[in-house]
Amino acid sequence: MGSWFQKLKKAGGRNRPYCAAVIAAAGNSSRMGGENKLFAELDGMPVLLRTLLSVAAAESVDEIVVATRGDTLLAVADLCSKANLTKPIRVVEGGASRMLSVMTAAMEVSPDAAFIAVHDGARPLVTPELFDEVVALAQKTNAAAPAIPVTDTIKEADEDGRVCATPSRSRLYAVQTPQVFQRDLLKAALTAALKADVAVTDDCAAVERLGKEVYLAKGSQENIKITTPLDLEIAEAILRRREEA
């Protein structure tokens, strides 16, 4: 109890725990036809800049740490500087994998941080409200992520393409980011996965490996990840609809 009180006291007397946002921005954009998706123009603004502005607008976020590739370190740092964010932001060099990048950034967050929210740099349409909702759920459960129900029928197939099973979609969800965790839980989960040399597709999977529970918040169909040029066109359409609303 004393430790919890001290974290609140260090955070300036706020009535909530300190939360650091880690932005995973070290991917290779292999499905973008040679263009770095983080710097691709989305309605006149780089994708990563839109992401940073949305995350910084979340009331639950106190600081931001961006993990990026070594060859884009200066460009990302320049982008962050021009963003004129009111919250502290740092840029660090990520690792060879997403998991290593997140771990590197997690080690750089403020010691005041009680929670870490991991968000994809290529998810620029996340709303501050969604971010805050997931952080609030994580503060109650220690691990939370937004998700939407799967609407397509999912098939499990072998390496030859032969269908092995058709799982019921009634319990299937497509998980998004931010994925928010109690700080020490995330670090322990990533450390264990790295030591075991286990490749996990998201940070929730690393936490699940420890036998810990992860809770899902209601996600948004608009919270898409930019992966292909088509995703940029969809994101543009979403932004136009938001402007018209």
Q: What is the DSSP letter of 16?
A: S
* Residues facing 20 on adjacent strands: 63, 116
Report which of residues 21 and 96 the model is more confident about.
Answer: 21
> pLDDT tens for residues 171-200?
999 999 999 999 999 999 999 999 999 989
**List of domains in the chain:** 2-244 (3.90.550.10)
Place of tokens 């932001």: 89
Dig out the tokens for 211 from the structure: 């036998």
CB atoms within 10 A of CB 105: 29
Q: How confident is the model at residue 227 (pLDDT cuts 50, 70, 90)?
A: very high
Which tokens in the block code for residue 23? 């932005």
pLDDT tens digits for range 103-119: 999 999 999 999 999 99
CB 20 within 8 A of CB 116: yes
Residue-by-residue DSSP string for 143-177? EEEEEEE--SPP-EE-TTS-EEE---GGG-EEE-S
Residue 62 backbone dihedrals phi, psi, to 5 degrees: -105, -25
- Model confidence band, residue 14 (pLDDT cutoffs 50, 70, 90): low
Q: Give the global pTM.
A: 0.92
Cα–Cα distance between 180 and 131 in angstroms, integer?
Answer: 9
Report percent pLDDT > 70 for the chain.
93
- pLDDT reported for residue 15: 79
Q: How far apart are CA 48 and CA 220, in angstroms?
A: 19
